[in-house]
Amino acid sequence: MQAFSANRQVDTEDELWIVEHPPIFTQGISGKAEHLLQHSDIPVVQSDRGGQITYHAPGQLIVYCLIDLKRLGIGVKKMVSLMEMAIIEVLSHHNIHSQTKNGAPGVYVEGAKIAALGLKVKNGRTYHGLSLNVDMDLSPFSHINPCGYQDLAVTQLADLTDNIKIGTIANELTQTLKKYVTRS
């Protein structure tokens, strides 16, 4: 991501990278050590994205958003809002009512976080992105204050609806993100 972003030209097309990570905690640039509540065999990696500590693992959809904000004429707050709206729209297609919280980026279902956001903006271009809990082991979230919030509950699509496939959600979310970003 960093190399792609550093080597972009003005005409380089934006990209969305879809990945799943092995079990790992990532600590953002403003991360505080006290948000890691319990050490385990899961590694903690320092990241240059915004935000505090979070957990990634198989069954969680990660979408890295490599977007030229300058070209789109939008700021980082607008980009965060577009990401949140895209997630909310995809969840609504699965009859899941979700919302944002003031001052706490991400998407929530009945107060539990289902999607986290963490961007880095350099030279007007974003990298890093979002994570959406689809069908994963949520127990390692108990080792941290997710996104720096004590006692924050987390949830996932598999606990809210049936027949969820991460590939289907990845396709739906990337298409929705493209729609929101291109019409911004």
Over the stretch 47-80, which tens digit does the pLDDT of each residue have?
999 889 999 999 999 999 999 999 999 999 999 9
Instruction: State residue 51's pLDDT score.
Output: 86
Q: Is the pLDDT confidence value at 184 over 80?
A: no
Instruction: State residue 53's pLDDT score.
Output: 94
Instruction: State residue 183's pLDDT score.
Output: 82
What is the C-alpha to C-alpha distance for residues 103 and 138, in angstroms, rounded to an integer?
A: 24
Taking CA 27 as the corner, what is the angle to CA 22 and CA 30, rounded to the nearest 5 degrees?
160
Span 84-127, pLDDT tens digits = 999 999 999 999 999 999 988 999 999 999 999 999 999 999 99
Residue ranges of E strands in the chain: 15-19, 24-27, 44-46, 53-56, 60-66, 99-101, 104-109, 112-122, 125-133
Q: Is the pLDDT confidence value at 41 over 90?
A: yes
In the predicted model, what is the mean pLDDT of the chain? 95
Q: Is the pLDDT confidence value at 6 over 80?
A: yes
Q: Which residues are annotated as a binding site for substrate?
A: 49-56, 116-118, 129-131
Q: Is 147 a catalytic residue?
A: yes
Domains in the chain (CATH in brackets) are 2-182 (3.30.930.10)
> Cα dist. 58→40, 51, 74, 103, 115 in Å?
17, 21, 32, 28, 15
Ordered alpha helix ranges (H), the chain? 2-6, 69-72, 76-93, 166-182
Exactly one of 147, 154, 166, 170 is catalytic; name it: 147
